[in-house]
Structure 1
């Protein structure tokens, strides 16, 4: 603690800052309200101040100028309102706790030191010349996270500033009152961090700017790496640091980087809800948040039914006891289709398709094929062999549009069109009549000239036509209606052609999966010896799904990649930063695809290979991993986070002992009870005991509790069994659950990833449920969700991973 005199000075300083904040908030409130009303009124009266006149070109130009002028004025007022509103909200956010840290810094060569107070946003004094509080993202504030008192430096756009840190101080301020002050020689004193970590889990992740550690700050402020890989132990603050990183990037590059130019790929939709408040809490707009599954589904559209990753892992876990050949073939297929080898195979396949093998779907109209697949293939391979595959597909698309236009013109005289005329209503006839008259009026001069010419011709021939016969209105109306009917009928064909529906992608992808390995090797330039052992069964499984217009999850990315190779890349050049959470669960193929989709983006990948529960997982922490090769070693940086903050020391010691390389994990010195193994004689006894334990945990004040099962099927069974006991109100979490809430959740293991709970109850920790070595990381993931309490229930023998542990690490 500090001296009494320092305490009084700090209280006086806090009072000054608080009063300044209140004054500024009061001054800004009417401006914000007034500008909002101005913008609203201006938008309502927009057209009242615009004179619309299109009589002449000059009038039209003047109208356009008037509209643009009003639009610019409205845009400026909206921008001004948005800026003031942001400042207003930032100050209101600061009011309960204006700052959390302070450093006293003496710049080299300067005669005196400066007191730097650090908070979630900046605040200047009344005259606007000095900072009362510095935003935590400013360059000078970085010293608070990176240095202890002594020599210290920070980087600015103008170079490195060197000097001496004389003091580092931390504050706890609540509701505008100074609660405690600590002088410290480290980034965050144990007292402050202990209190932050000791609080219960919340329904949404909170900002950690007051407790950022030095290694997390390195992640946040890295502005050079094209690929930043963060391999962090469970509970090491990876996701929190990544969200602060997004806030830092938006602050540093304000004016050049927008929130919608940052994309976060989350492990599931519920996780999006869990992290959705962090950026707004820091005064920034939320970045785009999605899942990789949603992205795939969007681009595949309704062409194919797509298995999701949770159905895939449900199959892998549920059938884990099977020893049949089909199960092993599926696992081999998942691994192979996720590999760099398969990526290269598809690239070779695209080259092969330039010479032969393209497959098309004929275009049918009114039960007859008007353009055959053979005609398309002949046209496709008539183009110069040097033209790339995607360019040929584009040329063929243009050729098809021309062919359809020609056929459409001929079709106007068909008998079916005449039949359709009989079913038109009066409105359509009236529309055609008006269209013909408008055409005549628009071309009146041309019509008069033509009529004059016809009259002269009739005089010369000595014939006499009835007035208006030359341009029979009824004939013209029929012609217009025929044109309209055929055009409307051909519209879907033209639309499908624009969308490359004439290429049979299902057959094109399935063509690779011939049981003849030699044919596959020929098409893809692959060595037969490198194919999975059960290649024939993998091919049969793939073709079976494709025949039903379905895609296994492991086929989704390769299928879409093949479409991109044929149609051309749908790249997004606007996105500048891509964040991938639970990055170990993505395959090398998927990372290569993300690079292709977002060619101008930097990538931040966060994960823990200790939680790699999917078959296609990617190693993050090796220098020569596939992920490190995406942009090459010169543009790749790997940061390891080994300290675990989420769980108590007892829980971390228990969980890290399950991993072969878990000795690297360092627990934070926060203590609680040891994990408990509860042995039971039957499932009914288990349900009763868990119900009783839930009630006692809630009585202890734990608001966020998870009963975690291995699979979704087991979660449903556990939910029914516990509900029948009539205890705590339960919430069943499924892959469709969109929001994370406090209370008692029954949740499958793979949906609990990335989320933390006050207490975790492992519903079935028996050897019967967790028996395979491949499930060790899943079991570890389940146990690492707990912050304060961990209980495991086993009917019969416990999981083999627990048998291997020192019994002093848990209680029975």
Structure 2
């Protein structure tokens, strides 16, 4: 019998046993669910309620607690069983993806270990049919080639010989391909390449890629892991496998909600949303820096996002205030500006803080100047955040006094008349308990107290959140005073005027968002998050030095995984950024850097073409995947351009490509393209508001396409009058490297200067 038939028979046996277990679990889930429904339904019937005396009250409390504990235990069992059922459903589709044959030293038999997304134990034969990919013995599969190997088990280090390493692609219970290899392939593209009778040279290249990725996945010693990877090197894929590995490695002490991923945009979140569940883990917390900032700022301002900022930088070059804005972006993105804010905050210890009046029903209870006077009456040796806390406590005491005064006012009497039935019942229950039901005065007193406390409750809540501090005015004051130090740009005065104008319109520029929050935290005290154990930042090269330093302050106990590619930095804040800014920020941490230079997402012709666009492109190594050379198509006018492109898209769809992206430089250009082709081609426009990733033909600005790959990319317009500024080189490179199989570049007139150094033999030139 062939190896393939033997292996398929084993898959069939495993699926059969999984089916049996699923039936049993299904019955168990249904049974536990029925118990939970019954307990909830009869909860108060099963509890004996008697509070006539202390003894009876204690017995009642014990009875309630016992019933609640039973309910909690059944609910926990239901969740656990349901999770087990969901895992087995996934195992049924793809029972495992790898096998190793390992012979322990001093043992006669060789163990056949099959590895999948979760363990599956055969109770009948008392053996594991599948081992979890994160189990100690599974590390042999990832860490070793054939030969001597060892792994760390709870009883100590186990040594032996690794005799076989086999990899499978199984879909819906059928083996699509399998191959024996010396290494482990974690990426489907690579698996498919090796499944087609790959050469020894190909296997050697893949071995290098996988060893590099395993350095990322299984690194648990570094405080800060920096992954510097070229486009298509699999850095994000490896990082997500790292999340699953860490959750397993630290199971019991770290949960998915203690891991936080900052991703480039909501579209990317949708793109990777199913990766962790496929690896057998819950999804970690995912957000974007923009969403995080907006949540923390609240409704004080309309906050510009980084894409709107970039759209401005790319489209408003002719405005008179353009250069001032760009210089402002660069300075406010620096750690030098952070130093200026710290200096400004220290000056506020003596004077300059601004506050809001504390009001109720439109009436001022405590004036802002009274709050200011109290704050500055406190000992200057006390830190500002501590004085803020003392001021907040003083305001709360004052509010308690005002509650008594407000209770006698007419508005309270009016609101008592409009209380609903539930409110009245709540008061009557209290009167009954106090045996005071017959006393009208007591009833009226409780009703007025209830109304006043209801209004003051939200007021107290706002005070506890320091809403009495006028942060927008304090931030604006920094720019009105034109406070400076030796690092400010020459045009600082103009930058200040621009900033004040925006702030007066309740608009917070993207470059001001993190500084605004930083100053707020300096005054109130940093609300550090000690629960988050691991922070992942994708596209870290797009973060400003200021933003990274701010995040470091917010998550002081976290370990960091930072993923980036300096060749894909597309924002203007990085023009003068130090190369070692991350190392500078994390001097007190153990930092390790992994370099991924081999790109395997795109075909070799596309990689050879795109790497000529950037400095140090010769460091990028192409994976040997054949394909068509990129095509640069010259058009003479708009009509010819659109007709040719529409025909090209239809041709590509007929070839079976699932994702075709027409990539434009800006959103403005995307809107123009939509107008031109909407009557001849069904396309989906992707904008920054999009939160889901859809297949088909899409029109998308280059900056939103980061981190996403498409079967085919069409660069809508690569003319030299579109892409000509040196600061746009990385944006153009990023757009072109999104293509996996085919790349088409349209242009009119002269082709962008970024392709000047690309040898002509690396691409095809065509005219319409």
2: distance between equivalents of 1:505 and 1:552?
Answer: 16
Q: Which residue of 2 aligns with 1:632?
A: 587
Task: Describe the superposition over 1:573-616 as per-residue Cα deviations: whole angstroms up to 9, x where unpaired.
Answer: 22222111111111122122222222222221112111111123
Q: Deviation at 1:331? A: 1.2
The 5-angstrom pairing of residues 721-732 of structure 1 reads 721-724=676-679, 726-727=680-681, 729-732=682-685
1:341–1:129 Cα change, 3 Å: farther
Paired with 1:299 and 1:310, the residues of 2 have a C-alpha distance of: 19
Describe the shift of the 1:65–1:598 C-alpha distance in structure 2 as closer, same or farther (beyond 3 A). Answer: farther
Would the aligned equivalents of 1:229 and 1:605 in 2 still touch at CA under 8 Å?
A: yes
Counterpart-to-counterpart distance in 2, 1:423 and 1:574? 43
Indicate conservation of the 8 Å contact 1:677/1:793, yes or no.
Answer: yes
1:193 and 1:211 in contact (8 A); partners too: no
Q: How far has the Cα of 1:443 moved from its partner?
A: 7.2
Q: Aligned in 2, Cα 1:44/1:760: closer, same or farther, shift over 3 Å?
A: farther
The answer for unaligned runs of 5 or more in structure 2 is: 197-205
Q: Alpha-carbon deviations, 1:165-213, whole Å to 9, x = none?
A: 22222233344344443222343499972626999xxxxxxxxx99982
Q: Deviations over 1:347-381 (max 9, x none)?
A: 23222222222222233556664433332222112
Which residue does 1:664 correspond to in 2?
619
Q: Quote the residue 1:551 is aligned against.
A: 508
Whole-angstrom distance in 1 between the partners of 2:700 and 2:186: 35
Residues 767 and 167 from structure 1, CA distance in 2 versus in 1: closer, same or farther, beyond 3 angstroms?
A: same
TM-score by length of 2: 0.91
Task: Report the Cα distance in structure 2 between the residues aligned to 1:290 and 1:509, rounded to whole angstroms.
Answer: 26
Which position in structure 2 is the counterpart of 1:566? 523
Q: Where does residue 69 of structure 2 map in the other structure?
A: 72
- Contact 1:307–1:551 (Cα < 8 Å) also in 2: yes
* SS at 2:719 equivalent: coil
Aligned match of 2:280 = 283
* Aligned counterpart for 1:512 among listed residues 453, 473, 478: 478
- Residue 719 of structure 1 pairs with residue 674 of structure 2: yes
Give distance in 2, aligned partners of 1:377 and 1:425: 38
Which of 307, 322, 329 in structure 1 is aligned with 2:318?
322
Partner of 1:204: none
Query: Aligned to 1:344, which of 329, 339, 342?
Result: 339
Conserved? CA contact 2:535–2:558, under 8 Å? yes
SS in structure 1 opposite 2:613?
Answer: coil
| Correspondence for 2:434 | 442
* 1:629 alignment partner, SS class: helix
Equivalent pair of 1:333/1:538 in contact (CA under 8 Å)? yes
Q: Is the Cα contact below 8 Å between 1:32 and 1:84 reproduced in 2?
A: yes
Please name the residue that 2:641 is paired with. 686
Report the counterpart of residue 500 of structure 1 in structure 2: 466
- 351-360 or 755-764, which deviates more: 351-360
1:238 aligns with 2:235: yes
Distance 1:433 1:192 in 2: 67
Q: Where do 1:313-712 residues align within 5 Å? A: 313-319=310-316, 321-322=317-318, 324=320, 326-364=321-359, 369-412=364-407, 417-418=409-410, 421=413, 425=417, 442=434, 487=453, 490=456, 493-514=459-480, 516=482, 520-521=483-484, 527-528=485-486, 530-617=487-574, 625-632=580-587, 634-712=589-667
Cα gap change, 1:278/1:513 in structure 2, threshold over 3 Å: closer, same or farther?
same
Q: How does 1:288-327 map to 2 (within 5 A)?
A: 288-319=285-316, 321-322=317-318, 324=320, 326-327=321-322
Does the Cα contact within 8 Å between 1:584 and 1:619 map onto a contact in 2? no
Decide whether the 8 Å contact of 1:432 with 1:477 is kept in 2: no
Q: CA 1:715–1:55 in structure 2 vs 1: closer, same or farther (change >3 Å)? A: farther
Which shifted more, 93-102 or 699-708? Answer: 93-102
Larger Rg: 1
**Structure 1 residues 156 and 626: alpha-carbon distance in aligned structure 2, compared to 1, 3 A threshold:** farther
Distance 1:186 1:422 in 2: 78
Residues in 2 aligned to 1:302 and 1:151: alpha-carbon distance in whole angstroms: 61
For residues 652-698 of structure 1, the C-alpha deviation after alignment (integer angstroms, 9 at most, x for no partner) is 11111111011111111111101111110112221111111110000
With the length of structure 1 as denominator, give the TM-score of the two structures.
Answer: 0.86
Q: Any stretches of 5+ residues in structure 1 without a counterpart?
A: 200-208, 448-467, 522-526
CA contact (8 A) 1:169 1:181 kept: yes
Structure 1 residue 232, shift from structure 2 partner: 0.8
- Measure the CA separation in 2 of the matches of 1:359 and 1:191: 58
CA change 1:385–1:423 in 2 (3 A) is closer
Aligned to 1:215: 212
Contact map agreement 2:226 2:593 (CA 8 A) in 1: yes
Query: Structure 1, residues 498-547: CA drift from partner, whole Å, max 9, x if none?
Result: 2222211112112222464xxx24xxxxx42x111211111111111111
1:210–1:42 CA distance, 2 compared to 1 (3 A): farther
**Equivalent residue of 1:33, what SS?**
helix
Aligned equivalents of 1:402, 1:192: Cα separation in 2 = 66
* 2:209/2:598 contact within 8 Å kept: no
**Alpha-carbon distance in 2 for matches of 1:783, 1:126:** 53
CA–CA distance in structure 1, aligned partners of residues 234 and 624 of structure 2: 16
1:461 is matched with none
Question: Is contact 1:618-1:627 (8 Å) kept?
Answer: no
**Residue 93 of structure 1: how far off its partner (Å):** 1.6
Q: Does the Cα contact within 8 Å between 2:262 and 2:538 map onto a contact in 1?
A: yes
Question: How many Å separate the matches in 1 of 2:549 and 2:3?
Answer: 56
Aligned equivalents of 1:292 and 1:154: distance in 2? Answer: 39
For the residues of structure 2 that align with 1:763 and 1:774, how far apart are their CA atoms?
Answer: 19
| C-alpha RMSD of matched pairs (Å) | 3.2
Q: Say which is worse superposed, 104-113 or 392-401, in terms of deviation.
A: 104-113
* Residue equivalent to 1:195: 192
2-structure distance, mates of 1:182, 1:406 = 79
- CA spacing shift, 1:108–1:494, aligned 2, 3 Å: same
1:628/1:128 CA distance change after superposition, 3 Å: farther
Residues 241 and 427 (structure 1 numbering): CA distance in 2 closer, same or farther, change over 3 Å? closer
Q: Is the 8 A contact 1:621 1:638 kept in 2?
A: no
Distance in 2 (CA, whole Å) between partners of 1:429 and 1:6 is 76
Q: Secondary structure at the match of 1:628?
A: helix
Cα 1:669–1:190 shift into 2, 3 Å: farther
Deviations 1:543-576 (A, max 9, x none): 1111122211111111111111111222222222
Cα distance in 2 for partners of 1:307, 1:643 equals 36
- The more displaced of 86-95 and 309-318 is 86-95
* 1:203 matched residue in structure 2: none
SS at match of 2:219: coil
- Structure 1 window deviating more from structure 2 (801-810 vs 612-621): it is 612-621
1:265 to 262, 267, 285: 262
Q: Secondary structure at the match of 1:381?
A: helix
Counterpart of 2:699 in structure 1 is: 746
Q: Is the 8 A contact 1:618 1:626 kept in 2?
A: no
- Quote the offset at 1:715 in angstroms: 0.8
Structure 1 CA distance, aligned partners of 2:390 and 2:762? 68
